[in-house]
Every structure is written in structure tokens, then in C-alpha cells.
Amino acid sequence: LPLVLKQVLDDILQLTKDLGPTHVKVAETWNSLGLIRLHMQHNVAAAIKCLRGALSIYRTSPAASTLDIAVTLNDLGRCLERQNEPEQALEIYEQAAEMVWNEGLIAWWNRFNEPLPDYVGSKKNKRYPSSRFICYFGYFLSFYSPLLR
């Protein structure tokens, strides 16, 4: 195993032992492992399992924020796109976007005077979000999530 992967797996085991299997830190680490599986190992199926595990914990933990769930949903959507499952990806992105919208985070985004990326569609189906929207949304959530807590 690559060193970073081994370290994250060790972190999951230790955090689960120290904090319990449903702690938010365990979910965050599962999410990190999912991103490692996706971006470093290009193992989309393994990434999806990790991200779904993180979502399961987030959705049952009272300490999890809406932003935690939205970021993980966004990451899962990216995985589903890579598996050529655009309709499932769109459903996931819409869930994440709705959560962010309902929390008022879009208004927070607008304070930066950045135009909100919108859905421009694909050649096959106009409903699919553009890669620009997906990237902006994902990077926005990933970068600013610590500031929003």
C-alpha cells in the first residue's frame, strides 16, 4: 500500500477505537480515503464505498453539519460521473446544491461577488450540470467549509 493510504487506514482504525464508529472525525477520514481512492488510485468503486460510508456516519451524527454532508455528496457525484452514471450524479449534485441553498450558503458565496455557476448542460441532455459548475461548487465547498463552521 502507498504510504498515504496506509496512514489514512491507520487513522480510521485509531479514530474508530478512540472516538467510536459514528464520530464525525471518522466520517471525515472516510471521506479523505474516498478522495485518495479516486484521485491517487483511480479506483472509483472503492471511492464510492468510502464516501457512502462517510455519508452514513454524517447522516446519523448530530455533530455533522449540512456542509459536511453536501461536500461528501459532491465528491460522490464526481465519482458517479467518472463511472459514466450522469443521471445518478445529477441527483446527488442536486441534493448537495439544495442543502447548500437551504442553509443560506449561496448568499454567503455571493458576498465574494463571484457569479454563481449554473447548469449549462451536455450535448446529450441539457439537464446535466456543467463541469464548471461541478468544479466551482466542489472547490468552493472544499476550500471554504472550515470557514463556514
138 falls in which pLDDT band (50, 70, 90)? low
Predicted pLDDT of residue 71: 86
More confident residue, 101 or 15: 15
Predicted pLDDT of residue 99: 82
What burial letters (b/e) apply to 53-79, b meaning 16+ CB within 10 Å? bbbebbeebeebbebbbbbbbbbbbbb
Interval 30-84: pLDDT, tens: 999 999 899 889 999 999 999 999 999 999 998 888 888 988 998 999 899 899 9
Closest of 134, 132, 118, 126 to residue 78, by C-alpha: 134
More confident residue, 89 or 129: 89
In whole angstroms, what is the distance from residue 15 CA to residue 29 CA? 9
Decide: helix, strand or coil at residue 127.
coil
* Reported pTM: 0.70
In whole angstroms, what is the distance from residue 95 CA to residue 101 CA? 10
- Give burial (CB, 10 Å; 0-12/13-18/19+) of 31: buried
More confident residue, 107 or 90: 90
Average pLDDT of span 122-141: 45
137 falls in which pLDDT band (50, 70, 90)? low
The mean predicted confidence, pLDDT, of the chain is 76
Give how far Cα 83 sits from Cα of 15, 16, 44, 111, 132, Å. Answer: 30, 30, 7, 35, 19
Grid cell for residue 34: 474516498
Predicted pLDDT of residue 127: 41
